[in-house]
């Protein structure tokens, strides 16, 4: 018995050691918003670069920012850019800064599950703000019904769903609401985690979508692809020009057009509620958070290699998953910025 | 028979029948749980499930091979941490300690036993993830191992104490030292009970999810060695159950069935060993 | 217990070698045992240390503040304490009658073999992991609550503030129901042991005086075992408090304090599980650790009380039997 145990132990240790050679494992964590495209990218990249495994854990943008700051992951991902305080904390902790690299553009859509309603609803900014402030409580409230004449909205209670975890999608949504509703701005504000007036919490885009699908009369905000992949109806949002726009690649790209021309060097921009009649107003970039210095040369090569691949080849996978490609100007600027990673 | 007596007898029969119903309801929950898992998960247990890695979101055909191996690694290392500490600690309590030391150690073990598993996760994160700057199998195993210690310790002490004094004294009379007695006579006599306790401790932590959330994190690929984050069955069940994808839901049910099946089998085997239903080779 | 006199007394080197074996064994096992104490002390220390910021900033107000706002860095534990307490109370209200009833059946009525077999199944039920209960919770219990049970409660008892508001299916009541299933085995196991320990003479005396079986159980045996049964309830309470996964999956993840059981809420363990990995900012993270500390203290106290009550009853039983 003892002999067996000793041999087993030895074999385990040896196996563990042997197995550890040969592949480069990179750990990343963060946003659930782009998880569908990231999981596709890392999978394709691994197939073409057999020795490199990028293990991305979709734990929410808040988690991405936190864990990359703690240094427990090699890079993070977030759709809410790190604010100055968070960047300061990172720099103080590590002695060097952190860089934002936009990857794709996406849209946060109001997805709903109203029994008997399959039509695409129109939502005004006031309606969305009112729903999330808890002021509009029934589906047949005039604020919603007036824009949706011809749809038989029930007199049922609206079940609001939001994120329970720290989320860039929340950042995008609350950023938009803060721009279109003064009451929201003062009462709640914008951030990856806010003090929600009403609603159920779901974990990640996945969790919110799960709650919406399971809960009749629910509405929640998710990234476009989650609504599409689960065949969930999502509404049109009225943009700043008064047009009701359905989230689409064109609408999201239009939202980014203005920002693309004046992209700051650190790539941190908000493109919610952008001007223009084709614009989908709740659009956002999503970023990879890469430390300025990566000490392990193999990891540095792998990560910068991935970034280059992502900008040049990876973009072709975006549209099939309902994310918009990076604007040309942004992509070009980013390629140059990769050299900043030492 | 007076009316009052008839009523009292009726009440008695009724209430006692009700208690039988309570027992029936409770036991039937177990079969309901198993039945549901088989119903929803049985169909999804296929070759892919056991051999494939997860596929990108929305694509079908993925599996849980890495989660199964990850759980095996986590539990194996956790046992290596928790069982020796619990076992030798139990030996100390039963054979060597004075009453104050015994009280302190027992108290600490009971305290550790009562700590909610999420708090153990916080502890392991602070100790093994933050300072070393990565999530790892080791951190996860440490958390699980901690949870195995109290059960192993108390049971080892209990079963060693249950060995009759006559056996010990006989061994001593033949000239064996105390340690030799313990090693060659007492422990083998208590072997069944201790093994049962180890199996039960193992089964207990096999299903733990909360402590793994911030120690082993998760991995979409194979976890190499012991220093990397790893997928595990309970965490994958949790993640997939909360997702909106039908395919992931089915996989979660299948994983639940595999996990529960494993835990129940270990429990049944453990109890059978104790009641001498199974013969166990002596060490 | 090493021989100091007798046939081996003369061979000193042999003796000292023997003794050394014992001393080494003593030392090694002591070190292992000490490591248990060490790790437990370290755990408490780490919890205390890593919650220093919110303890200094909020003090005792932490327990009475309703707000949990990571942006303004205002953290209050009240919604989580409320959720933890409410779900635990609901679970006990459901589990105690069920568990006690089953324990009475197993201890008083069922023949030995059936009692042992049923206990075996109940022990298996206790082994089912939390995440599996959560899985069943989401896909089976939640729809059931939302479509059948909560509307039924609303229609019959809707005048009570407890059963008002929309029927989400997710919320305090559902979490309480799932918890109840999880803690029933503990109530049954311990109560059964306690009831079996009540001396036969008590029952026989009652029956001799003309009591029915039920009256003997309810009016004599149970009061005798009262303290121990209380102990099992405290034990179950401690388990319910610490349950994380099943609750996190069905409670709704909203820090709300509401009189309605249909309302979504949050528990201490669930908020730690959801927010720990992403708590940016030291105050936020340490507020979560402080919640963990609170949970730890609660379970510690409850477990302590439970143990005292159970030991007291079993000793009472054996003392009375000897009398």
pLDDT tens by residue, B83-108: 999 999 999 998 888 888 899 999 99
Which of B118, B121, B260 lies closest to C128 in CB terms? Answer: B260
Helices (H), chain C: 12-49, 52-58, 78-104, 112-126, 130-136, 142-144, 150-157, 172-197, 200-208, 213-216, 222-224, 226-242, 245-250, 268-275, 282-322
Residue C242 pLDDT grade (very low, low, confident, very high; cuts 50, 70, 90)? confident
Decide if C279 touches A, using CB distance below 8 A: yes
Decide if C143 touches A, using CB distance below 8 A: yes
In the predicted model, is pLDDT for residue C200 greater than 50?
yes
Give the pLDDT confidence score for residue A1 in this predicted structure: 55
In the predicted model, is pLDDT for residue A170 greater than 60?
yes
Which of B97, B175, B252 lies closest to C135 in CB terms? Answer: B252
Q: Do A70 and B228 touch (CB under 8 A)?
A: no
Percent of chain C with pLDDT over 90: 43
Decide if C108 touches A, using CB distance below 8 A: no
Angle between helices B65-91 and B233-242 (to 10 degrees): 130
Q: Which long-range contacts (CB under 8 A, 24 or more apart) does A262-268 make?
A: A263/A329, A263/A330, A263/A333, A265/A337, A266/A99, A266/A100, A267/A81, A267/A100, A267/A101, A267/A102, A267/A330, A267/A333, A267/A334, A267/A337, A268/A81, A268/A82, A268/A100
C200: how many CB neighbours lie within 10 A of its CB?
8
Q: Length of chain C, please? A: 323
Substitution target from A64, A87, A195 for chain C, most C beta carbons within 10 A = A195
Give the pLDDT confidence score for residue C251 in this predicted structure: 92
Q: Which residues of chain B from 87 to 106 reach within 8 Å of chain C, CB to CB?
A: 87-89, 91-93, 95-97, 101, 104-105
Give the pLDDT confidence score for residue A229 in this predicted structure: 86
Q: Closest Cα of chain B to C187: distance in Å?
A: 11
Q: Closest Cα of chain B to A123: distance in Å?
A: 24
In the predicted model, is pLDDT for residue C322 greater than 90?
no
Decide if B280 touches A, using CB distance below 8 A: no
Average pLDDT, chain A: 89
Residue A176 pLDDT grade (very low, low, confident, very high; cuts 50, 70, 90)? very high
| Chain Cα centroid distance, residue C249 | 19
Q: Closest Cα of chain C to A83: distance in Å?
A: 11
| Cβ contact B106:A49 at 8 Å | no
Q: Alpha-carbon torsion C4, C7, C8, C11, what sign?
A: positive
Look at residues A290, A293, A340, A336 and name the one whose alpha carbon lies nearest to residue A311.
Answer: A336
- Find tokens 């060597």 and name the residue: B96
In the predicted model, is pLDDT for residue A8 greater than 70?
no
Q: Closest Cα of chain C to A5: distance in Å?
A: 20
Distance CA B192, CA B271 (A): 10
Decide if A134 touches C, using CB distance below 8 A: no
For B130, the token pair is 């933050």
The predicted model gives B159-171 an average pLDDT of: 88
- The more confidently predicted of residues B2 and C212 is C212
pLDDT, tens digit (0-9, with 9 covering 90-100), for C270-299: 999 988 888 877 888 899 999 999 999 988
Helices (H), A181-296: 182-187, 204-214, 224-229, 249-261
Give the pLDDT confidence score for residue C1 in this predicted structure: 46
Distance CA C190, CA C225 (A): 11
ipTM value: 0.86
pLDDT, tens digit (0-9, with 9 covering 90-100), for C44-86: 999 999 999 999 998 888 989 888 887 778 899 999 999 999 9
Distance CA C144, CA A197 (A): 27
The predicted model gives A15-26 an average pLDDT of: 67
Grouping H, G, I as helix, E, B as strand and the rest as coil, residue A57 is strand
Residues of chain A with C-beta less than 8 angstroms from the C-beta of C78: none
Residues of chain A with C-beta less than 8 angstroms from the C-beta of C266: 201
Give the pLDDT confidence score for residue A13 in this predicted structure: 64
Which of B57, B133, B228 lies closest to A70 in CB terms? Answer: B133
Decide if B219 touches A, using CB distance below 8 A: yes
Percent of chain A with pLDDT over 70: 94
Residues of chain C with C-beta less than 8 angstroms from the C-beta of B37: 132
Give the pLDDT confidence score for residue A4 in this predicted structure: 61
Distance CA B280, CA B264 (A): 19
Which of C138, C143, C278 lies closest to A60 in CB terms? Answer: C278
In the predicted model, is pLDDT for residue B205 greater than 80?
yes
Q: Which residues of chain B from 69 to 128 reach within 8 Å of chain A, CB to CB?
A: 76, 80
Which of A60, A192, A201 lies closest to C252 in CB terms? Answer: A201
Residues paired with residue A105 on neighbouring β-strands, in sequence order: A285, A324
Give the pLDDT confidence score for residue A60 in this predicted structure: 87
Give the pLDDT confidence score for residue B181 in this predicted structure: 85
| Cβ contact A162:A143 at 8 Å | no
Phi, psi (rounded to 5 degrees) for A162 = -135, -175
User: Minimum mean pLDDT among A46-50, A91-95, B245-249: which range?
Assistant: B245-249
Which of C35, C125, C132 lies closest to B259 in CB terms? Answer: C132
- In terms of C-beta density within 10 A (0-12 exposed, 13-18 middle, 19 or more buried), how is residue C18 classed? buried
Q: Do B26 and C99 touch (CB under 8 A)?
A: yes
Q: Closest Cα of chain A to C110: distance in Å?
A: 42
Instruction: Using CB atoms, list chains with 3+ pairs below 8 Å to chain C.
Output: A, B
Tell me the Ramachandran region of residue B62: left when phi exceeds 0, alpha when psi lies from -120 to 50, beta otherwise. Answer: beta
Angle between helices B187-206 and B246-274 (to 10 degrees): 170
Average pLDDT, chain B: 89
Residue C97 pLDDT grade (very low, low, confident, very high; cuts 50, 70, 90)? very high
A300: how many CB neighbours lie within 10 A of its CB?
17
Q: Do B220 and A206 touch (CB under 8 A)?
A: no
Q: Which helix (H) or strand (E) holds B104?
A: helix B99-114
The predicted model gives C300-321 an average pLDDT of: 78
Residue C321 pLDDT grade (very low, low, confident, very high; cuts 50, 70, 90)? low
Substitution target from C76, C253, C255 for chain A, most A beta carbons within 10 A = C253
Distance CA B35, CA B41 (A): 10
CA separation, residue B161 to residues A12, A294, A342, C274 (Å): 34, 57, 63, 43
Q: Which residues of chain A from 168 to 197 reach within 8 Å of chain C, CB to CB?
A: 189, 191-196
Q: Do C134 and B241 touch (CB under 8 A)?
A: yes
| Cβ contact A181:A239 at 8 Å | no
Decide if B182 touches C, using CB distance below 8 A: yes
Instruction: Using CB atoms, list chains with 3+ pairs below 8 Å to chain B.
Output: A, C
Residues paired with residue B167 on neighbouring β-strands, in sequence order: none
Give the pLDDT confidence score for residue C17 in this predicted structure: 61
Opening angle at CA A294, ends A290 and A299, nearest 5: 95
Angle between helices A61-70 and A84-94 (to 10 degrees): 30
Distance CA A241, CA B264 (A): 62
Decide if B38 touches C, using CB distance below 8 A: no
Q: Do B117 and C242 touch (CB under 8 A)?
A: yes
Instruction: Using CB atoms, list chains with 3+ pairs below 8 Å to chain A.
Output: B, C
Give the pLDDT confidence score for residue A40 in this predicted structure: 92
Q: Closest Cα of chain A to B30: distance in Å?
A: 25
Give the pLDDT confidence score for residue C131 in this predicted structure: 92
In the predicted model, is pLDDT for residue A25 greater than 70?
yes
Q: Do C280 and A191 touch (CB under 8 A)?
A: no
| Cβ contact A234:A205 at 8 Å | no
User: Minimum mean pLDDT among A253-257, B57-61, B244-248: which range?
Assistant: B57-61
- Find tokens 């033949």 and name the residue: B174
pTM (two decimals): 0.87
In the predicted model, is pLDDT for residue B45 greater than 70?
yes
- The more confidently predicted of residues A203 and A185 is A185
């Amino acid at each position: 018995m003892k002999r067996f145990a000793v041999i087993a132990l030895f074999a385990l240790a040896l196996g563990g050691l042997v197995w550890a050679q040969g592949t480069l494992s990179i750990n990343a964590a963060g946003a659930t918003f782009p998880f569908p495209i990231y999981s596709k990218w890392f999978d394709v990249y691994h197939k073409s670069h057999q020795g490199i495994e990028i293990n991305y854990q979709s734990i929410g943008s808040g988690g991405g920012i936190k864990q990359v700051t703690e240094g427990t992951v090699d890079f993070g991902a977030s759709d809410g850019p790190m604010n100055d305080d968070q960047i300061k904390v990172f720099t103080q902790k590590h002695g060097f800064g952190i860089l934002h690299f936009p990857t794709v553009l996406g849209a946060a859509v109001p997805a709903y599950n109203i029994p008997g309603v399959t039509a695409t609803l129109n939502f005004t900014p006031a309606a969305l703000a009112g729903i999330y402030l808890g002021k509009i409580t029934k589906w047949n409230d005039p604020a919603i019904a007036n824009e949706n004449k011809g749809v038989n909205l029930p007199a049922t209670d609206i079940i609001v769903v939001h994120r329970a975890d720290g989320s860039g999608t929340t950042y995008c949504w609350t950023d938009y609401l803060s721009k279109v509703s003064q009451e929201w701005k003062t009462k709640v504000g914008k951030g990856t985690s806010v003090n929600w007036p009403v609603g159920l919490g779901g974990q990640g885009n996945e969790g919110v979508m799960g709650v919406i699908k399971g809960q009749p009369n629910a509405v929640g905000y998710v990234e476009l692809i989650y609504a599409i992949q689960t065949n969930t109806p999502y509404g049109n949002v009225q943009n700043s020009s008064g047009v009701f726009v359905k989230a689409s690649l064109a609408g999201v790209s239009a939202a980014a057009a203005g920002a693309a021309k004046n992209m700051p060097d650190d790539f941190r921009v908000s493109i919610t509620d952008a001007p223009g009649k084709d614009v989908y107003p709740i659009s956002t970039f999503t970023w990879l958070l890469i430390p300025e210095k990566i000490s392990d040369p193999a990891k540095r090569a792998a990560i910068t290699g991935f970034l280059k691949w992502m900008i040049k080849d990876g973009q072709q996978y975006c549209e099939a998953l309902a994310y918009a490609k990076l604007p040309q100007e942004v992509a070009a600027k980013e390629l140059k910025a990769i050299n900043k990673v030492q | 028979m007076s009316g009052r007596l008839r009523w009292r007898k009726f009440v008695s029969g009724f209430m006692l029948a009700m208690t039988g119903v309570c027992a029936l309801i409770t036991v039937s929950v177990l079969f309901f749980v198993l039945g549901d898992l088989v119903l929803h998960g049985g169909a999804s247990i296929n070759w892919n499930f056991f051999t494939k890695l997860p596929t990108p979101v929305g694509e079908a055909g993925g599996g849980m091979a890495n989660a199964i191996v990850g759980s095996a690694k986590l539990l194996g290392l956790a046992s290596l941490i928790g069982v020796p500490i619990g076992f030798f600690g139990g030996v100390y309590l039963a054979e060597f300690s004075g009453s104050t030391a015994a009280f302190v150690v027992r108290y600490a073990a009971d305290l550790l036993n009562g700590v909610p598993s999420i708090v153990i996760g916080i502890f392991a994160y602070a100790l093994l993830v933050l300072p070393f700057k990565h999530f790892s199998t080791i951190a996860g195993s440490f958390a699980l191992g901690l949870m195995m210690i109290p059960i192993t310790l108390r049971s080892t002490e209990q079963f060693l104490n249950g060995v009759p004094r006559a056996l010990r004294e006989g061994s001593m009379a033949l000239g064996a030292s105390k340690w030799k007695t313990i090693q060659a006579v007492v422990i083998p006599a208590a072997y069944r009970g201790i093994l049962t306790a180890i199996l039960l401790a193992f089964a207990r932590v096999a299903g733990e999810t909360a402590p793994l959330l911030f120690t082993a994190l998760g991995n979409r690929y194979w976890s190499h060695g012991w220093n990397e984050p790893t997928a595990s069955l309970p965490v994958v069940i949790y993640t997939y159950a909360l997702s909106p994808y039908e395919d992931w839901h089915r996989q979660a049910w299948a994983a639940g069935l595999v996990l529960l099946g494993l835990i129940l089998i270990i429990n049944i085997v453990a109890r059978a060993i104790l009641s001498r239903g199974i013969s166990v080779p002596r060490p | 217990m090493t021989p100091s006199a007798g046939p081996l007394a003369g061979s000193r080197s042999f003796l000292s070698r023997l003794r050394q074996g014992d001393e080494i064994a003593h030392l090694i096992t002591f070190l292992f045992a000490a490591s248990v104490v060490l790790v437990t002390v370290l755990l408490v220390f780490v919890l205390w240390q890593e919650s220093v910021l919110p303890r200094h900033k909020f003090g005792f107000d932490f327990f009475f503040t309703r707000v949990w706002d990571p942006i303004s860095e205002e953290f209050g534990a009240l919604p989580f304490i409320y959720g933890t307490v409410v779900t635990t109370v609901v679970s006990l209200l459901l589990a105690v009658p069920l568990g006690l009833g089953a324990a009475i059946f197993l201890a008083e009525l069922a023949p030995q073999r059936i009692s042992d077999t049923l206990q075996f199944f109940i022990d298996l039920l206790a082994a089912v992991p939390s995440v599996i209960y959560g899985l069943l919770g989401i896909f089976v219990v939640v729809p059931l609550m939302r479509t059948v049970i909560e509307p039924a409660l609303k229609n019959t008892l809707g005048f009570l503030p407890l059963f008002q508001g929309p029927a989400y299916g997710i919320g305090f009541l559902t979490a309480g129901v799932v918890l109840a299933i999880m803690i029933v085995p503990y109530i049954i196991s311990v109560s059964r042991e306690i009831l079996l320990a009540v001396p036969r003479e008590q029952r026989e005396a009652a029956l001799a005086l003309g009591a029915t079986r039920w009256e003997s159980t309810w009016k004599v045996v149970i009061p005798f075992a009262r303290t121990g049964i209380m102990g099992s309830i405290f034990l179950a309470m401690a388990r319910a408090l610490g349950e994380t996964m099943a609750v996190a999956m069905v409670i709704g993840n909203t820090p709300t304090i509401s009189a309605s059981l249909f309302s979504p809420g949050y528990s201490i363990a669930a908020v730690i599980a959801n927010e720990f990995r992403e708590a940016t900012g030291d105050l936020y993270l340490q507020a979560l650790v402080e919640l963990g500390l609170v949970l730890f203290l609660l379970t510690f106290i409850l477990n302590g009380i439970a143990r005292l009550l159970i030991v007291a009853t079993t000793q009472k039983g054996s003392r009375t039997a000897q009398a």
